[in-house]
């Protein structure tokens, strides 16, 4: 049962960007507009794109949402540019003129913001737009894949695995192997029985049913007991049967023959003379071929006739075999040995039939358990995974020993998530969401926004479960979450909204705890549908068929559509918008049905009337001619020397050579040799630079796209779209199949067995148009001007459901067959409630697709049904009536309709650009300080995306500095000398100091083990330790323990080394509350061209000499991460860990050597930039900030030289306040007002 909550309106305005929130958005209420606007609020008020996650149900929906977000951000940016120029006196006037709710909210937010003004808003929007590629918008499956990649160690997914293309094949193989092993373990009698009874099924008979249970991995599978098939008693009775003599049969004639003495007393349905002949024939054949023939399909007719003595037409025992008669007659019949034996055989056979049904259920149950257990193992061995398995892996990691740590780490990186289509999440997905964002101890540390409509939860067969939604709903309510509703319909005209709403209000309980709430019209009635010169005021129309018309539903709908199109051609049916008439065309009409069979019938009728049809394709691109042609080109790229292979490729429409060309080759062999060389070069490009580069070269060389447009006639667009589709698929899979041979082998497998997976279905053409035919499931999220609903009162067929569903408390339970819950009244009712509830929600979706008119077709029904729209029509005794509803005539007038001639668009290919340039607008310290100048790049900083690693800037300078040679020089301990050098070792040390608690040394060991493993440092460390400790021959585990002990000792020395000479302050004095590790930032730079050389001169003027900096003329932002920000009780400081190697003795890490290294590596620049970042951060976030009082020093920690001693391993530098302010101005002064550009840190 759902918790009772209070719903708020207008989530865009009222939702606070903290805690838990759930938005219920009814159909047509502008959900996508609200979400895109809400995302603009999120990005302008609190979070940056890299911190935000938005998930939805499909890739197409994700792409649409991200596009909407970008457009809304651009709109807001241009508006903010105008706001920036306003004076305080103009604010109220502008606010009153705003009509966009989002603009009103953001204007008010910044109008009264004491810390940020409209100038800040402009700069923030510019930064957000430039970094929008870091915003994740995708499916939950793809987000899970992202998390497993980013948190590989904690999740246990250390080795990346590709998504399997052959999950169905793995499923098939597992079921096949398990089934074979089970059969081999059974007695021969059981095998013979299954064989004779035709119950020995193939793998294909189980795969669909069993594989469906994988969608409900978190549900409890009701246990099924394997029946004990005891054939001994039945075989004994059958053996007795074949030993009876003819005299025994003669004794029964008095009961079966019309002239028999007892025939008047017997049931004439049971005792037919033919059955006595059948019994004689059955005994004869069993005497010849054995008693097991009783179970054979060969003797099925004889057995059925004989068993008809005791069983009625439904297979149940007859209530009586004799009519009123003396008891002696009855006793005499049952004392007949043959009759008594036959009765016993039928009884045992009926028991055996029931046991075989139970055995079939058990096998489905057993195979489901084995598949669930074995599939992850098989995928792991193959180095592959599936989306469901990825969710399971992450969910398991979040439920494990370190679940809080992993969940907290994910939430810190992504503090806010927006989950669209929340009603379709399955239990495993919601477990993951709950562990990360809805944990009771951390709900206020982030923001969780769920958006959905439980009335549109129609994907139960995929694992989406209303029970999951209700449990999550109650969880949010229990944690004081906020609830909101969108109820204004902006899709449909007011009259249609009112009529459909009145229909739904007849029965608001949709089942499974989901209730309907009233909808209001959000549109103005200013663009009406005009029919025959009159405004359509009755858009909900019923087409009730009589009993004779039932078989002609498709015919009647097709002619109704023809009538509407004919009206439109004659100017009688159009939408009037701002004085313009928009005639209804075929594209404006959709027909929705519950099955493809119904749509097939309608398609035939429409095509017979020459009405164009646009139907979602169900063809695999691998089944197309283009797929064969691409395969030929791939083979030619692999083996250009094989003449037959090359000729096949050259004959494809993509290349377009003809027989005349090949005749020419016979006279001029050099012509063919040129093609060989071309394909050889393409192969070389493939090997060196990848498949896509090779294909692009080949396409340009042979003008492939131009040829496809010219050589494939009316199918030109289909050939181009399919070829492009195939190249995209090949490019994606080339990442997983590195070699040419392996990729081609994979491609050939797809050609041989197209699987109709979503990503391989043929894409829609731009030229495709017509009446749109689709199932109701496919129509979700779409809208059409006029909608026909086929068989809108169709009853629900509960027998089609393969699984049984019920719940135990708040847990979903699944029965492998609905028959298993027939004796459990509560479970049976819950199962029916689920089936009917999903049917009601399906037809809710159907009834909310139209914007102007609905035609609901109601075939004649002898008895009332609860399926489809009949659920609402029959909910009350009175007939449904509404002013906007009309009973229309199912038979349409026959008026002239002129078929529209399809205009084929002219196709042409645009050449590849000669130069491709992808500008980036960020730089980093590492790029600014790059001292190698590349003349071939105009501006390296603008052309390349920079990903800053923790130890990216660390370089070993033992070749620059001469190590100390003093006699009494103190050598460094072994761990400092031989800890791996370079980025790998540096990143490992950075990660350790980022994760450990400085004041809890007992936790350091496990973190050291983890990071050494993650960064792959065990092998070099073990090799170095073994080489320098030859006298020890310990096991590897012992050596690892010794290395970790040395590393822990080193960490203790680092934390004990004084940083501030006056105070004697060290890192060990820091509590967790006074330090902030890995502070990432984007530093806004000046609007004018950024001049790194002026900054270089600033350092020279201050007496700091460094090599010249790289230029970065087009850089707009500088990004990076500060290793550590800490508070010593008075000031805020930064610290940077350096693993640079300056020598092998402690003296090599004296302060003067560190200063020289900092000059060579330009670390002074890095330190000053970090201090500017900290200055800007404190200015925004610290109330009463004074730079002279609060800004501390930059501490450069050369870890290898930190042994707990002062004056070694540490350089603390605190430049003058004026220096920081001057650098701040050079890095980020706005061009218009000389105002410092704020940044997000």
Q: Sign of the C-alpha dihedral, residues 567, 569, 570, 574?
A: positive
The strand pairing partners of 23, in sequence order, are 451, 484
pLDDT band at 792 (very low <50, low <70, confident <90, very high): very high
Asked whether residue 238 carries a pLDDT value surpassing 80, the answer given is yes
Asked whether residue 1232 carries a pLDDT value surpassing 50, the answer given is no
Listed in sequence order, the DSSP H helices in 151-299 are: 152-155, 167-184, 188-196, 204-212, 232-242, 246-250, 253-256, 273-289
Say how many CA atoms lie within 13 Å of 617 toward its Cβ: 19
Q: What percent of the chain has pLDDT over 90?
A: 53
CB 1023 within 8 A of CB 979: no
pLDDT in tens, 447-483: 999 999 999 999 887 788 899 999 999 999 999 999 9
pLDDT in tens, 83-118: 999 888 899 999 999 999 999 999 999 988 777 888
Distance in angstroms between the alpha carbons of the first and the last residue of the chain: 44
Mean pLDDT of 435-444: 93
Regarding predicted confidence, which is higher, 366 or 208?
Answer: 366
Q: What angle do CA 249, 254, 256 make, to 5 degrees?
A: 75
Mean pLDDT of 334-338: 88
Listed in sequence order, the DSSP H helices in 792-948 are: 825-847, 870-873, 925-928, 940-943
Give the range among 764-778, 818-832, 834-848 with minimum mean pLDDT.
764-778
The strand pairing partners of 1118, in sequence order, are 923, 1083
pLDDT in tens, 203-220: 889 998 998 998 888 889
Question: Hey, which of 33-47, 319-333, 1052-1066 has the most confident mean pLDDT?
Answer: 33-47
- Distance from CA of residue 968 to its chain's centroid? 64
pLDDT band at 1233 (very low <50, low <70, confident <90, very high): very low
Q: What is the pLDDT of residue 413?
A: 93
pLDDT in tens, 44-55: 999 999 999 999
Tell me whether the CATH fold assigned to 7-161+386-490 matches the one assigned to 498-514+527-616+770-888: yes
Mean pLDDT of 947-973: 58
Q: What percent of the chain has pLDDT over 70?
A: 90
Domain boundaries, the chain: 7-161+386-490, 165-381, 498-514+527-616+770-888, 621-760, 922-955+1063-1228, 974-1056
For residue 984, what is the enclosing H or E element?
helix 982-995
Architecture, CATH, for domain 7-161+386-490:
3-Layer(aba) Sandwich (3.40)
Asked whether residue 934 carries a pLDDT value surpassing 70, the answer given is no
CATH classification number, 922-955+1063-1228, choose in 1.10.8.420, 3.90.320.10, 1.10.150.130, 3.10.20.30: 3.90.320.10
CATH classification number, 498-514+527-616+770-888, choose in 3.20.20.140, 3.40.50.10190, 3.40.50.300, 1.10.1840.10: 3.40.50.300
Q: What is the pLDDT of residue 711?
A: 73
Number of H helices, E strands in the chain: 48, 33
Q: What is the pLDDT of residue 726?
A: 95
CB 437 within 8 A of CB 446: yes
Residue from 161, 198, 135 nearest 390 by CA: 161
CB 216 within 8 A of CB 812: yes
pLDDT in tens, 192-201: 888 888 888 8
Q: What is the pLDDT of residue 752?
A: 83
Q: What is the pLDDT of residue 967?
A: 55
Asked whether residue 920 carries a pLDDT value surpassing 50, the answer given is no
Mean pLDDT of 417-423: 95
Asked whether residue 1211 carries a pLDDT value surpassing 70, the answer given is yes
Regarding predicted confidence, which is higher, 520 or 710?
Answer: 520
Q: How far is residue 826's CA from residue 424's CA, in Å, rounded to a whole number?
A: 25
Asked whether residue 692 carries a pLDDT value surpassing 80, the answer given is yes
Asked whether residue 1237 carries a pLDDT value surpassing 80, the answer given is no
pLDDT in tens, 4-17: 999 998 999 999 99
Q: What is the pLDDT of residue 1114?
A: 43
Mean pLDDT of 260-268: 89
CB 485 within 8 A of CB 518: no
Say how many CA atoms lie within 13 Å of 618 toward its Cβ: 7
Q: What is the pLDDT of residue 915?
A: 45
Q: Sign of the C-alpha dihedral, residues 278, 284, 289, 292?
A: positive
Burial class (CB in 10 A: 0-12, 13-18, 19+), 657: middle
Q: φ, ψ for residue 426 (rounded to 5)?
A: -95, 175
pLDDT band at 1230 (very low <50, low <70, confident <90, very high): very low
CB 41 within 8 A of CB 105: yes
Fold type of domain 621-760: PCRA; domain 4 (1.10.486)
Asked whether residue 922 carries a pLDDT value surpassing 50, the answer given is no
Q: φ, ψ for residue 561 (rounded to 5)?
A: -65, -40
Asked whether residue 709 carries a pLDDT value surpassing 90, the answer given is no
pLDDT band at 1088 (very low <50, low <70, confident <90, very high): very low
Say how many CA atoms lie within 13 Å of 604 toward its Cβ: 9
Give the range among 39-48, 532-541, 879-888, 918-927 with minimum mean pLDDT.
918-927
Q: What is the pLDDT of residue 386?
A: 87
pLDDT in tens, 621-672: 999 999 999 999 999 999 999 989 999 999 999 998 988 888 888 777 788 8
Q: How far is residue 844's CA from residue 838's CA, in Å, rounded to a whole number?
A: 10
pLDDT band at 717 (very low <50, low <70, confident <90, very high): confident
pLDDT in tens, 112-165: 877 788 889 999 999 999 899 899 999 998 999 899 888 887 777 767 787 777
Q: φ, ψ for residue 846 (rounded to 5)?
A: -60, -40
Average confidence score pLDDT of the chain: 86
State the DSSP code for 523: S
């Amino acid at each position: 049962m759902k918790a009772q909550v209070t719903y708020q309106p207008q989530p865009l305005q009222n939702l606070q960007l903290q805690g838990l929130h759930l938005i219920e958005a009814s159909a047509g209420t502008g959900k996508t507009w609200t979400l895109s606007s809400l995302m603009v609020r999120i990005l302008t008020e609190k979070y940056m794109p890299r911190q935000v996650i938005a998930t939805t149900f499909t890739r197409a929906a994700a792409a649409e949402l991200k596009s909407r977000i970008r457009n809304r951000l651009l709109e807001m940016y241009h508006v903010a540019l105008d706001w920036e120029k306003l004076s305080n006196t103009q604010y109220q006037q502008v606010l009153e003129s705003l009509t966009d709710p989002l603009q009103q909210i953001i204007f008010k937010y910044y109008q009264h913001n004491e810390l940020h003004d409209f100038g800040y808003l402009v700069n923030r929007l510019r930064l957000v737009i430039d970094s929008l590629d870091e915003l994740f918008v995708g499916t939950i499956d793809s987000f899970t894949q992202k998390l497993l990649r980013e948190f590989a160690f904690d999740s246990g997914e250390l080795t990346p695995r590709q998504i399997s293309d052959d999950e169905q094949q793995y499923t098939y193989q597992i079921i096949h192997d398990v089934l074979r092993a089970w059969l081999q373990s059974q007695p021969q009698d059981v095998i013979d029985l299954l064989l004779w009874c035709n119950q020995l099924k193939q793998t294909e008979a189980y795969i669909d049913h069993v594989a469906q249970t994988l969608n409900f991995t978190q549900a409890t599978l009701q246990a099924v007991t394997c029946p004990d098939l005891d054939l001994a008693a039945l075989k004994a009775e059958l053996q007795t049967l074949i030993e009876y003599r003819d005299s025994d049969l003669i004794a029964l004639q008095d009961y079966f023959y019309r002239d028999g003495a007892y025939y008047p007393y017997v049931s004439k349905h049971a005792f037919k003379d033919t059955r006595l002949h059948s019994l004689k024939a059955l005994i004869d054949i069993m005497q010849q071929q054995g008693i097991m023939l009783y179970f054979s399909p060969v003797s099925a007719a004889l057995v059925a006739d004989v068993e008809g003595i005791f069983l009625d037409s439904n297979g149940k025992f007859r209530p009586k075999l004799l009519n009123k008669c003396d008891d002696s007659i009855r006793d005499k019949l049952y004392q007949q040995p043959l009759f008594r034996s036959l009765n016993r055989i039928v009884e045992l056979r009926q028991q055996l039939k029931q046991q075989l049904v139970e055995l079939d259920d058990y096998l489905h149950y057993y195979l489901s358990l084995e598949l669930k257990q074995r599939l992850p193992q098989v995928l792991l061995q193959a180095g592959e995974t599936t989306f469901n398995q990825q969710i399971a892996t992450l969910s398991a990691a979040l439920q494990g020993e370190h679940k809080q740590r992993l969940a907290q780490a994910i939430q810190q990186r992504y503090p806010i998530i927006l989950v669209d289509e929340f009603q379709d999440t399955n239990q495993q997905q919601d477990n993951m969401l709950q562990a990360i964002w809805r944990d009771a101890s951390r709900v206020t540390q982030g923001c969780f926004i769920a958006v959905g409509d439980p009335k549109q939860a129609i994907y139960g067969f995929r694992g989406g479960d209303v029970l999951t939604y209700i449990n999550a709903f109650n969880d949010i309510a229990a944690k004081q979450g906020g609830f909101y509703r969108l109820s204004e319909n902006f899709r449909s005209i007011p009259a249609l909204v009112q009529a459909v709403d009145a229909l739904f209000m007849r029965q608001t309980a949709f089942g499974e705890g989901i209730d309907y709430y009233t909808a209001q019209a959000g549109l103005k009635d200013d663009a009406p549908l005009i029919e025959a010169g009159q405004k359509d005021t009755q858009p909900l129309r019923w087409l009730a068929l009589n009993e004779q018309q039932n078989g002609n539903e498709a015919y009647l709908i097709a002619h109704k559509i023809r009538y509407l199109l004919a009206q439109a051609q004659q100017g009688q049916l159009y939408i009037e918008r701002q004085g313009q008439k928009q005639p209804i065309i075929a594209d404006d009409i959709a027909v929705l049905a519950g099955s493809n069979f119904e749509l097939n019938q309608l398609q035939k009728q429409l095509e017979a009337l020459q009405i164009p049809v646009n139907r979602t394709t169900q063809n695999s691109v691998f089944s197309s001619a283009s797929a064969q042609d691409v395969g030929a080109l791939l083979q030619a790229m692999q083996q250009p020397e094989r003449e037959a292979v090359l000729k096949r490729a050259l004959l494809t429409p993509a290349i377009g050579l003809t027989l005349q060309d090949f005749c020419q080759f016979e006279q001029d062999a050099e012509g063919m040799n040129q093609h060989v060389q071309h394909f050889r070069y393409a192969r070389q490009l493939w090997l060196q630079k990848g498949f896509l580069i090779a294909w692009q070269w080949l396409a340009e060389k042979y003008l492939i796209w131009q040829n496809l447009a010219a050589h494939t006639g009316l199918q030109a667009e289909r050939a181009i779209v399919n070829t492009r589709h195939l190249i995209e698929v090949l490019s994606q899979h080339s990442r997983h199949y590195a070699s040419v041979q392996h990729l081609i082998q994979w491609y050939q497998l797809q050609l041989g067995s197209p699987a109709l997976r979503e990503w391989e279905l043929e894409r829609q053409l731009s030229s495709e148009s017509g009446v749109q035919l689709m199932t109701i499931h496919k129509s979700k999220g779409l809208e059409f001007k006029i909608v026909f609903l086929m068989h809108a009162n169709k009853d629900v067929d509960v027998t089609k459901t393969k699984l049984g569903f019920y719940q135990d408390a708040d847990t979903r339970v699944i029965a492998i067959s609905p028959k298993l819950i027939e004796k459990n009244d509560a479970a049976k009712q819950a199962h029916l409630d689920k089936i009917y509830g999903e049917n009601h929600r399906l037809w809710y979706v159907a009834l909310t697709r139209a914007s102007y008119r609905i035609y609901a077709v109601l075939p004649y029904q002898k008895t009332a049904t609860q399926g489809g729209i009949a659920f609402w029509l029959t909910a009350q005794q009175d007939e449904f009536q509404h002013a906007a509803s009309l009973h229309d005539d199912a038979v349409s007038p026959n008026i002239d309709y002129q078929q529209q001639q399809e205009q084929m668009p002219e196709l042409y290919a645009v050449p590849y650009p000669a130069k491709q340039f992808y500008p980036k607008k960020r730089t980093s310290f590492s790029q600014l300080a790059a001292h190698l100048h590349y003349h071939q790049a105009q501006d390296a900083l603008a052309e390349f995306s920079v990903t800053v690693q923790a130890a990216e800037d660390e370089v070993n300078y033992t070749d620059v500095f001469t190590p100390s040679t003093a006699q009494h020089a103190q050598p460094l301990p072994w761990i400092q000398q031989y800890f791996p050098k370079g980025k790998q070792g540096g990143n490992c040390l950075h990660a350790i100091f980022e994760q450990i608690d400085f004041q809890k040394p007992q936790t350091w060991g496990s973190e050291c083990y983890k990071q050494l493993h993650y960064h792959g440092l065990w092998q070099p460390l073990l090799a170095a330790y073994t080489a320098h400790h030859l006298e020890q021959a310990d096991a590897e585990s012992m050596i690892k323990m010794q290395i970790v002990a040395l590393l822990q000792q080193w960490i203790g020395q680092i934390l004990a080394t004084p940083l501030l000479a006056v105070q004697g302050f060290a890192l060990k004095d820091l509590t967790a509350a006074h330090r902030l590790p890995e502070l990432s930032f984007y530093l806004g730079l000046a609007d004018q061209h950024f001049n790194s050389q002026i900054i270089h001169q600033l350092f020279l003027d201050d007496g700091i000499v460094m090599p010249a900096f790289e230029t970065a003329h087009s850089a707009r932002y500088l990004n990076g991460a500060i290793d550590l920000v800490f508070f010593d009780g008075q000031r805020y400081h930064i610290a940077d860990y350096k693993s640079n190697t300056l020598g092998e003795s402690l003296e090599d890490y004296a302060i003067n050597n560190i200063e020289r290294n900092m000059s060579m590596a330009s670390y002074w620049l890095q330190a000053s930039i970090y201090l500017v970042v900290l200055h800007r951060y404190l200015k925004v976030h610290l109330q009463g900030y004074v730079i002279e009082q609060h800004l501390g020093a930059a501490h450069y920690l050369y870890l290898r030289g930190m042994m707990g001693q002062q004056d070694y391993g540490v350089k603390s530098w605190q430049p003058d306040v004026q220096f920081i302010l001057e650098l701040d101005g050079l890095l980020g002064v706005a061009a218009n007002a000389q105002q410092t550009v704020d940044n997000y840190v």
